[in-house]
Amino acid sequence: MIRLEKVSYSYPDGTPALENLNLVIKKGEFIGIIGKNGSGKSTLALQLSGLLKPQAGRVMIRGMDTRDPSKLPEIRKFVGIVFQNPETQFVGRTVEEDLAFGPENLCFSPMEIRKCVDMALAETGLEKYRHRSPKTLSGGQGQCSALAGVLAMRPECLIFDEVTSMLDPESGISVMEIIKKLHRKGKTIVYITHNLEELHDADRIIVMEKGKVMLEGEPKSIFSDISLKTLGFDLPSLIELAETLKTHGVIIPWEKTASPQSFAEEICQLFLKT
Amino acid sequence: MPIILENVSFSYSKKTPLETSALREINLRIEKGEFVGILGEKGAGKSTLTKLFNGIFKPETGIVRVDGLDPSSREAKRKIGMVFQQAADQLFCKTVYEEIAFGPLNFGYSKKETEQRVYEAIEAVSLDQTELSRDPFSLSGGEMQRVALASALALRPDYLVLDEPITGLDPIGKNDILKTLNRIKEKGTAVITVTHNLKGFFPLLEKIVLLREGRIAFQGSRESYLKKGFEPLPPIASMMKELGVRGLPVNLTVFTVEDALEEIMKLKSILGTDNNENK
């Protein structure tokens, strides 16, 4: 569905951000991308959405080359992107107007625009805020509104660049719930984060380092890869505990490391069995 | 001398239809050299509380004193350094040097004294001297956070107050700032931080202030916070609490992977023997 072929990109000052990157994203996948600051994650996100064009190699989005300007409107409809700070993404005076901006630009009919806006409001639970100014929303609601603005264009594929990193845990979890629901409905999700705990249920994780893909695999295998620690990542504590327990002969299945409750449940099962 | 809050209340938009009570009957004492975590859900009043420490907000009722001084006095402002969540919001100079020197110059220290303080501050936050001529806005998030921290430290504050200082940073940037804060604390400055990042901060916190709907729900040592089962908790402590809830005899003060391993192996040797015999 999205394919990067030997993509390279350097910033204007010459710092390489992506080097010879190959990557295929399949329809309906939930891909997590992790990496240090400056490892190329955000540049990758911009490449995947056609907002940046490769200097070498090519990015194909459903058969369309992002370097071909005539394909851009079609690409815009297909891929949506949400960034870290919602305030930088608002354009409308009210939430509703803000959501209508995207579909209007894509030349949807007024009827379609109304439908798309209503759907996006429903999907993010923002119906009651439709007449509010987006700037008066809380951090979590603001991020939902930014997400709704993208959903209103009915994209197939959604890219999230550290969307929960500035939110309190509660709001972060509710934004994450919405994203997971969209994934279950069949949307393709590319999710960039520093918080590995959010990627427990991802289909695949890609670890970026210096503009290259360093590791790639299911969360289960990525998180048990010791090289992750040497690369400077913090493993989720419960996964780290499960890994340490394994070396002492206590096996906690992967699914049980998802929450403190399921972890404790498993320990009880193991030790209290009669 | 400490920071003292006595029976402090504060409301937003006082005497308007939008009036909202943010803090109620806060009694609090923070000593020099303590590492204090201010915890609580969003809207609990955490950030509001920090803004009372340095006189940005004035209490509606009650008293705030910093070493016996009115927090909005010039003398008190020199004692309290503030660093906010988005460091970029508090940077405004053309170079990192000017940024860090702004405070001391503003307080009337000589150029020479200021220069000494700038160098001392960048050393404390491990910023390289070559960074001093850079434009602060060209820095990465972690570097900006360190410049904001250095600016606060250049006044050699007795109290460093931080609001979510490590959100948005990558793991390396986070650990860096945490180490720096611990060093600052070791040198005798009180570090008071609002945080949701319990995994990162918990090992450093000596004292916890938990706010719930504008009131203090708990104030005391980390040990007693854990023993009494307050939340939020870092993941490991949360798991230990869940074991306790399920009737297992566990030590609730455990919050690190190493200690949890030891605890679980202990449980295994007490409880797990039957299990093995059955097999």
Option in A232, A236, A270 nearest B172 (CB): A232
Please answer whether residues B147 and B114 qualify as being in contact, where contact means their C-beta atoms are separated by less than 8 angstroms.
no
Instruction: Among A170, A194, A244, pick the best mutation site for testing chain B contact (most B Cβ within 10 A).
Output: A194
Residue A65 has pLDDT above 60, yes or no: yes
Instruction: Among A207, A209, A256, A267, pick the best mutation site for testing chain B contact (most B Cβ within 10 A).
Output: A267
- pLDDT digit string, tens, across residues A214-226: 999 999 999 988 7
pLDDT of residue B277: 44
Q: What's the CATH fold of domain A2-234?
A: Rossmann fold (3.40.50)
End-to-end CA distance of chain B: 63
- Which residues from chain B sit within 8 angstroms of residue A272, using beta carbons? 248, 271
Domain with CATH 3.40.50.300 in chain A: 2-234
- Which residue's entry shows tokens 């020199």? B78
pLDDT of residue B279: 41
Q: Note the pTM of the prediction, 2 decimals.
A: 0.89
Residue A185 has pLDDT above 60, yes or no: yes
DSSP A186-205: T-EEEEE-S-GGGGTT-SEE
- pLDDT digit string, tens, across residues B166-200: 887 888 888 989 999 999 999 999 999 999 999 99
pLDDT of residue A274: 54
pLDDT of residue A117: 96
pLDDT winner (highest mean) among A107-111, A269-273, B134-138: A107-111
| Cβ-based burial of B142 (10 A; exposed 0-12, middle 13-18, buried ≥19) | buried
Band (A11; pLDDT cuts 50, 70, 90): confident
**Mean pLDDT in chain B?**
91
pLDDT of residue A216: 94
Residue B140 has pLDDT above 80, yes or no: no
Question: What are the residue boundaries of the structural domains of chain B, listed by start?
Answer: 3-221, 233-279
Option in A165, A234, A237 nearest B236 (CB): A237
Q: Is A168 on the interface with B (CB under 8 A)?
A: yes
A110 preceded by a cis bond (ω within 30 of 0): no
Q: Is A87 on the interface with B (CB under 8 A)?
A: no
pLDDT of residue B88: 77
Q: A162: alpha, beta or left, given left = phi > 0 and alpha = psi -120 to 50?
A: left
- In percent, the amount of chain B with pLDDT more than 70 equals 97
Task: Give SS3 for A108.
Answer: coil
Q: ipTM score of the complex?
A: 0.88
Q: Which residue of A has its CA nearest to B172?
A: A232
Please answer whether residues B71 and B1 qualify as being in contact, where contact means their C-beta atoms are separated by less than 8 angstroms.
no
Side chain identity at residue A259, one-letter code = S
Task: Count the residues in chain B.
Answer: 279
Averaged over B10-31, what is the pLDDT? 89
Averaged over A127-131, what is the pLDDT? 93
CATH class of B3-221: alpha beta
Q: Which residue of A has its CA nearest to B85?
A: A166
Please answer whether residues B83 and B153 qualify as being in contact, where contact means their C-beta atoms are separated by less than 8 angstroms.
no
Residue B260 has pLDDT above 60, yes or no: yes
Question: What stretches of chain A adopt beta strand conformation (E)?
Answer: 2-10, 16-25, 30-35, 56-61, 64-65, 79-82, 157-161, 188-192, 204-209, 212-217
Averaged over B32-40, what is the pLDDT? 96
